[in-house]
Amino acid sequence: MQSTDRSEAVHGPLRPGELAEAAVLADLALVLEVVGWFVPFGGALQALAILPFAALSSRHRLRAGIVAVVSAASVAFLVGGVGIVLQTGLAGTVGLSIGTTFRRRWSGAASVAITMGAAGLPIAAVTDFIDWLSPNFRRLTFDQVRILWRDVKLLLGLLAHLVPTGGLVHLGQQVLDWVLGHWWFTIPIAELAVILVVALVCLRMWPILRALGQTSLRPYVGGLQERDEPEVAVAPVPVSLEAVRYAYEGSEVDAVAGIDLDLDPGELLGLVGLNGSGKSTLVRILAGRLAPSSGNVRRPGRPGYGEPGGTAIIFQRPESQVLGVRVRDDLHWGLPAGSRPPIAELLETVGLAGREDTETSTLSGGQLQRLAVAAALARSPRLLISDESTAMVDADGREEVVALLTRLRDEGLAVVHVTHRRAETAVADRVVELSGGKVVASGPPAARRPEPVREEIASRVGRGLVSGRRPLVALEGVGYVYSVGTPWAKRALLGVDLEVGAGEGLVVTGANGSGKTTLAWVLGGLAVPTEGFALLGGQPIEQAPTRVGVAFQHARLQLLRPSVMADVSAGSTKEAAEAALRSVALDPQEIGPRRVDDLSGGEQRRVALAGLLLRRPELLVLDEPYAGLDDEARYALALILLELRQRYQMATVVVSHDLDNAELLGERIIRLEAGSIVAEEVLTP
């Protein structure tokens, strides 16, 4: 019977969905093969490696399966040599045969015949040839068979008290000696027999493959997931929300409640509100990524999320959407075959001119954010949603992004810019403010609101200035080179000399790519200098992990358990965890039972900080702690850090490109440029 799978009609290079699934399933199969190679009776695990390959080839084109097998075999060679490569190739070939025949709806007999022809005969021939060519490999094969026989004898020995097994063991040893003595035909025959049995057993996989096909996503066509209504054109705007409500599963509170909102082409909408006010939920509804629990979303066509001419979102965390190995690769990612985005022009637009061949792994957080903007623009969207896209960009970069959004609005795009910085909404046509999931204000941009009261913090910072502090941290001639000694070496720090006293607050700033994050890793003991020394109380920092706490840019990555109390109390007592939560201005009774994923960005940051404080570190390093925080959360964080410095003489180093109210974060600031300290000054409250 001819296949009805639409993926067979797709031509051209592998699509992103195929590549992603091939990579994941190849890794799973490889793990099963490697573990099965080293553990007793591991053949069962190696047999299970067939299933990932079968699942892949049952859902996608044969070339996707071939790529998975080749990639898994390549890594297998690096891990364990030729033996694991053959095992992986065998599992892959059998899996591809089973999956392909299932997809094409061929008979079981045809499946077995194809498996024997495509896998059995070639594997048997290759094994025989390698055994003949390489005596060392032949001895390795014999040793593997002897180890298997040893395990069988051990099992028979355990059964000896129930039934006599001595004769069986003697007979088995004779058979083994004869088989190894005539290896040139016994091993291939044994392999063919095993593959025949495996092929017959694998026919039982078809119900599993059928279940996977019913529960998995549909195949990707043209780089985009098939739609239920492909005849509906992509037309994301104008869009109108009428009494829209949405509640996440398991939550008794609406994330957005009763939203009425209109958005037209050529309009720039500013969306503001405190952490947890519902901004991100609302923009996902606008993008078509969430269907409202109630209410209506009206637009002339499909939102076309990720499609050319549709909707694009620039997220707050660029590492979640930058997928390419090189910068130019990322601009092509997910576009239809044959698309030729103006790469040089797009990169120049976002301030990454000349970076086409730069590896994305070497980009700073701000540079990744700019690349994410360029990748979104490569799709020529009609609705562009900027969800805190300036959170990880320095001041100059923020101005560039806002100017870019303004220009796109003038070119006819509908633009939604979500931000905590009200100054960025000055160019908007309209500003909507959310609170508790509801619209509390809507209208033209208003004058910048006065900042929250800060006199107490400023005065306490002034009282915290202490001369002659006990020296704590000393960096002497520190340099750091990524991939040192390779052609891909990249210098991040050069000749850094720095001292930090106990209880001192230091702010480290600089443009994106200046080395701020690398310096934070060195101070946190996560990176050992390739040059110079980094000492904490005379001891190398990397050797004093309990004396240093590091808060990463994205607090969610440090929260490893489902609830707040479970995360903070891990390795400690509930009483200590409650005290730590109170020290960061959180009520343990109210926030303790809450799920980590239900917290706002500011709450997640404070919970992560509470977990660090349980160890009472002498040095606390915070990398971009202001990212994604509203004004109230920023002041709360500044007050917490001040309290830690003054009460516990804990030194704090805040690494940030955001200098708003920097004087509240410490008494001194240094500026990095090209990995070196180029300026230092005292901060005045």
pLDDT in tens, 371-417: 888 888 888 899 999 988 877 666 776 787 888 889 889 989 999 99
Share of the chain above pLDDT 70, in %: 81
Neighbouring residues of 179: CB distance < 8 A, sequence distance ≥ 6: 145, 186, 187, 190
Instruction: Render pLDDT for 440-454 as a digit per residue (tens, 0 to 9).
Output: 988 888 755 545 445
- CA dist 18 and 221 (Å) reads 10
Q: Which residue has the higher pLDDT, 429 or 81?
A: 429
Q: Which amino acid is at 598?
A: D
- CA dist 297 and 285 (Å) reads 8
Count the neighbouring beta carbons within 10 Å of the beta carbon of residue 169: 15
Specify the residue for token string 């020290």: 583
Same-domain status, 468 and 574 = yes
Average pLDDT over residues 555-584: 85
C-alpha 552 chain-centroid distance = 14
Task: Confirm whether 449 is domain-assigned.
Answer: no
Average pLDDT over residues 526-538: 92
Average pLDDT over residues 657-677: 83
Last residue of a domain, one of 221, 255, 276: 221
The pLDDT score that the predictor gives to residue 204 is 67
Q: Which residue has the higher pLDDT, 196 or 455?
A: 196
- For residue 475, pLDDT over 90 is answered with yes
- For residue 205, pLDDT over 70 is answered with no
Task: Confirm whether 448 is domain-assigned.
Answer: no
Range with lowest mean pLDDT among 235-249, 305-319, 484-498, 510-524: 305-319
Task: Confirm whether 465 is domain-assigned.
Answer: yes
Residues constituting the chain = 685
pLDDT band at 211 (very low <50, low <70, confident <90, very high): low
pLDDT band at 620 (very low <50, low <70, confident <90, very high): very high
- CA dist 548 and 617 (Å) reads 5
The pLDDT score that the predictor gives to residue 227 is 42
3-state secondary structure (DSSP) of residue 199: helix
Tokens of 195: 């593959």
- CA dist 389 and 398 (Å) reads 9
The dihedrals phi and psi of 496, each to the nearest 5 degrees, come to: -85, 120
Same-domain status, 393 and 501 = no
Tokens of 486: 């390779």
Same-domain status, 63 and 89 = yes
Q: Which residue has the higher pLDDT, 528 or 357?
A: 528
Name the pairing type of β-strands 220-221 and 539-540. unpaired
In this structure, what CATH number is given to the domain that contains residue 642? 3.40.50.300
- CA dist 63 and 18 (Å) reads 9
Same-domain status, 373 and 410 = yes
Last residue of a domain, one of 221, 256, 291: 221
Same-domain status, 409 and 524 = no
Average pLDDT over residues 78-97: 76
Which element (helix H / strand E) includes 603? helix 601-613
User: pTM to 2 decimals?
Assistant: 0.56
- CA dist 102 and 108 (Å) reads 9
Same-domain status, 421 and 527 = no
Same-domain status, 363 and 460 = no
Average pLDDT over residues 607-620: 88
The pLDDT score that the predictor gives to residue 540 is 93
Q: Which of 124-128, 504-508, 622-626 has the highest average model confidence (pLDDT)?
A: 504-508
Same-domain status, 280 and 135 = no
CA angle at 136 for the pair 131 and 139, rounded to the nearest 5°: 75
Query: Helix, strand, coil shares of the chain as percentages rounded to 5?
Result: 50, 20, 35
Q: Which residue has the higher pLDDT, 339 or 607?
A: 607
pLDDT band at 533 (very low <50, low <70, confident <90, very high): very high
Task: Confirm whether 233 is domain-assigned.
Answer: no
3-state secondary structure (DSSP) of residue 88: helix
CB 267 within 8 A of CB 430: yes
C-alpha 245 chain-centroid distance = 29
pLDDT band at 3 (very low <50, low <70, confident <90, very high): very low
Same-domain status, 468 and 578 = yes
pLDDT band at 102 (very low <50, low <70, confident <90, very high): confident
| Residue 268 lies in domain | 239-443
Same-domain status, 217 and 257 = no
The pLDDT score that the predictor gives to residue 221 is 36
In this structure, what CATH number is given to the domain that contains residue 128? 1.10.1760
Average pLDDT over residues 648-669: 82
Q: Which residue has the higher pLDDT, 645 or 213?
A: 645
Cis bond before residue 238 (omega within 30° of 0) = yes
> What is the domain count for the chain?
3
Task: Confirm whether 228 is domain-assigned.
Answer: no
The pLDDT score that the predictor gives to residue 351 is 78
Same-domain status, 162 and 15 = yes
Same-domain status, 317 and 193 = no
pLDDT mean across residues, the chain: 79
Which element (helix H / strand E) includes 48? helix 43-48
- Cα–Cα nearest to 472, from 649, 670, 675: 649
Task: Confirm whether 1 is domain-assigned.
Answer: no
Range with lowest mean pLDDT among 60-64, 134-138, 445-449, 609-613: 445-449
Last residue of a domain, one of 221, 253, 277: 221
Helices marked H in 614-685: 631-648
Neighbouring residues of 184: CB distance < 8 A, sequence distance ≥ 6: 128, 131, 132
Task: Confirm whether 666 is domain-assigned.
Answer: yes
Instruction: Render pLDDT for 222-251 as a digit per residue (tens, 0 to 9).
Output: 333 334 455 678 899 999 999 999 987 766
- For residue 252, pLDDT over 50 is answered with yes
The pLDDT score that the predictor gives to residue 29 is 81
CA angle at 258 for the pair 255 and 261, rounded to the nearest 5°: 105
- CA dist 382 and 385 (Å) reads 10
The pLDDT score that the predictor gives to residue 456 is 53
Average pLDDT over residues 654-664: 77
The pLDDT score that the predictor gives to residue 6 is 39
pLDDT band at 685 (very low <50, low <70, confident <90, very high): low
The pLDDT score that the predictor gives to residue 201 is 72
Specify the residue for token string 């997220």: 315
Neighbouring residues of 685: CB distance < 8 A, sequence distance ≥ 6: 457, 458, 459, 461, 462, 663, 664
Which element (helix H / strand E) includes 565? helix 564-568
- For residue 34, pLDDT over 80 is answered with no
Share of the chain above pLDDT 90, in %: 18
pLDDT band at 160 (very low <50, low <70, confident <90, very high): low
Tokens of 246: 């949405």
The pLDDT score that the predictor gives to residue 42 is 61
The pLDDT score that the predictor gives to residue 385 is 93
The pLDDT score that the predictor gives to residue 280 is 83
Q: Which amino acid is at 562?
A: P
**Burial of 668 per CB tally in 10 Å (0-12, 13-18, 19+):** middle
Task: Confirm whether 353 is domain-assigned.
Answer: yes
Name the pairing type of β-strands 619-623 and 548-551. parallel
Average pLDDT over residues 315-339: 74
